[in-house]
Amino acid sequence: MRIDVVTIFPEYLAPLELSLVGKAHRAGLLDLRVHDLRTWTTDRHRTVDDTPIGGGAGMVMRPDVWGEALDGLLGDDGAVELLVPTPSGERFTQRTAERLAAVPRLVVACGRYEGIDARVAEHYRARGVPVTEVSLGDYVLNGGEVAALVVVEAVARLLPGVVGNPDSLVEESHGAAGLLEYPVYTRPPQWRGHDVPEVLLSGHHARIARWRRDRALERTAERRPDLVARLPADALDADDRRL
Ligand code: ADE
């Protein structure tokens, strides 16, 4: 998969060279390219923004500069998806990450200030480019760069070969079960007066699986009742319903 990130702060994306995503990049599992938006400016000051038409505070990113950048990166064949992080986008979830992990090419356009002139998304949609505006959550960041880091990491770890043991993608929070993950423990079994739950030391796989499922349900009900409300009717088995 190829991901191009366009930003006025390419250094912000440096952490993508670390850890699993960095390794995936070096191994050729992920073709990651970070571009400086100012490369596509033509004036002496390398201007990327201007005042909002209609008035108001802050600055808006200019459509002409973004147009120059995106024309080349998106091409004409509709095979590349454009992702624009913005607090006014649709919520970015594990489902979004799963969908994007199946896309061959993605361009992430990082806005700053009050965002990118609205005609940019409108123009590429009209040209047949799939455009998704995504929000990480209900809060405002200073720009799309941190969101781009989140999106690239969430997508890259789903690509084949990136996470060493693919089993670790199966039971995690926001996975197929629609529940938060159960609590996890390692050695030592006693630590500062806190014991690992007895059942986990029992070696009884069915009892361990039941205990984990109960804790996942309990935790989800307590911390994210919205997720429980969204579970499909057949998501709960007879033992779950007794809870
Ligand atoms: N840019 C600024 N705030 C954002 C948010 N909450 N999600 C995605 N991109 C953003």
Whether 49 maps to a domain, the answer reads yes
Looking at the structure of the chain, the number of domains it has is 2
Does the pLDDT of residue 108 top 80, yes or no? yes
- Going from the Cα of 104 to the center of ligand 1, the distance in angstroms, rounded, reads 24
* ipTM of the complex, rounded to two decimals: 0.97
How remote is the CA of residue 62 from the centroid of ligand 1, in Å?
Answer: 18
The torsion region of residue 195 among left (phi > 0), alpha (psi -120 to 50) and beta comes to beta
Q: Which of 92, 122, 156 is the last residue of a domain?
A: 156
Judge whether 168 and 205 are in contact, CB under 8 Å: no
Residue 59 included in any domain: yes
Tokens of 241: 């319903």
Tell me how long the chain is. Answer: 243
pLDDT score, position 168:
79
Q: What pLDDT shows up at residue 173? A: 83
User: What confidence score (pLDDT) does residue 78 get?
Assistant: 80
**Cα–Cα distance, 210 to 216 (Å, whole number):** 10
pLDDT confidence tier of residue 37, bands split at 50, 70 and 90: very high
- The single residue listed with the structure tokens 């400086």 is 36
Least confident of 36-50, 155-169, 192-206, 207-221: 155-169
* Residues 206 and 115 placed together within one structural domain of the fold: no
98 part of a folded domain: yes
Structure tokens at 101: 């992990």
Could you tell me if residue 161 is inside a domain?
no
Question: Does residue 164 lie in a domain region?
Answer: no
Distance 141 CA to ligand 1 centre (A): 5
Q: Could you list the residues known to form a binding site for S-adenosyl-L-methionine, using ranges.
A: 111, 136-141
Buried b (16+ CB within 10 A) or exposed e, 165-204: eeeeeeeebbeebbbbbbeeeeeeeeeeeeebeeebeeee
- pLDDT for 243: 64
**In terms of domains, do 150 and 188 share one?**
no
pLDDT recorded at residue 77: 80
Average the pLDDT over each of 25-29, 98-102, 159-163, 166-170 and give the range with the smallest value.
166-170
Q: Which CATH number characterizes residue 185's domain?
A: 1.10.1270.20
pLDDT of residue 90: 98
φ/ψ of 168, rounded to 5, equals -70, -10
DSSP classification of residue 14: G
Residue 6 shares a structural domain with residue 120? yes
